[in-house]
Amino acid sequence: MTTNPTIIFMGTPEFAVATLRAIHAVFPIAAVVTVPDKPKGRGLQVQPSAVKQAALELGITTILQPATLKDEAFEAELRALKPDIIAVVAFRILPPNIFSLPRLGAFNIHGSLLPKYRGAAPINWAIINGERETGVTSFLLAESVDTGSMLGRRVIPIPDGTTAGELHDALMPLAAELAVETCQRLASGTAKPKPQDDIAATKAPKIFRETCKIDWTKPAHEVRSFIHGLSPYPGAWTAFADGKTAKILRVSAVDWMENAAKPLTKPEAGEFIVTPDALFISCGEGMLSVQEIQPEGKRAMTTKEFLRGYRGEQHGRLG
């Protein structure tokens, strides 16, 4: 048993902050590794990552920010720390010479129930694909991304209508809880790594803007999952007749026969109908009512807010 393991934490965004705080409260973290400070915002002022900000608040004095993980000086700094454990949450892909350094192991917390949704966007793809449950998994790092032996997991349901942003926030405390448990098991020698079933593996590739365009010819339930799986970021988008785009952030399914704006026949896929307080869009099968929208160059807003300033067509087709 290692009562006071030397732990190095690696992470970057807000998702990793809760885990950093939780581990540090149980096992004081010896060092934090994160990305270099970057210019952000309209003024392009140089700002630290969310993890670095949290580390400073916690009084962690050793903060490493390598431009590349292949830097020999960076590896030398890690070796000098003689780590027992490396805990990774939402960071870069570690090379073997780095993840093999700790005496007890290097582990990652992944936002899915591995081996499902290996890749950069597990939260998004779980919702896009209509999953009804997900969770977080801790696993030992290996050369192939997200393939290492599993150490533990936490499972939660995905309520109907959940967005990626909401699921992200729900998973943060679970990731923190699981990371602490994983550190405890590694330190006590009670960890029992379980190999992943590669046959059951699915992918969660990185999402790009060009793949976020909404295909209105698909059934309403699929379009709804697609929209919610990309909300609030990067955002599923569509184009109006004037060429301007808008991100659709939240929708609900409706029966076109029951809404007050119904035409004599069901609209074709991609047609929209505007009423004084609602925006309806027809899909290949079914219809959606837009609840939240972000017009090009503007903030996200409710549909009612959007329609107060809307001066376009009352009935048209989206691109």
Question: Worst-scoring range by mean pLDDT, 63-72, 87-96, 245-254, 306-315?
Answer: 306-315
68, two tokens: 């590349």
- d(C-alpha 133, C-alpha 143), whole Å: 28
pLDDT of 151 reads 98
Helices (H), the chain: 14-26, 50-58, 72-81, 96-99, 122-128, 164-188, 220-229, 303-308
- pLDDT above 90 (res 262): no
- When pLDDT is cut at 50, 70 and 90, the band that residue 55 belongs to is very high
Domains of the chain: 7-200 (3.40.50.170), 209-317 (3.10.25.10)
User: Residue 226: which residues within 8 A CB-CB, separation 6 or more?
Assistant: 128, 214, 215, 218, 236
pTM for this model (two decimals)? 0.93
Average pLDDT on 21-40 reads 95
Q: Around 50, how many Cα atoms within 13 Å sit in the side-chain half-sphere? A: 14
Question: Which pLDDT does position 259 carry in this prediction?
Answer: 55
Query: Is residue 267's pLDDT more than 90?
Result: no
CA distance 115 to 107: 15
Arithmetic mean of pLDDT, 243-254: 93
Mean pLDDT of the chain, nearest integer: 93
- Whether the pLDDT of residue 57 is over 80: the answer is yes
Q: Are 138 and 108 in contact (CB under 8 A)?
A: yes
Question: What pLDDT sits at residue 261?
Answer: 52
- The whole-number pLDDT of residue 59 equals 97
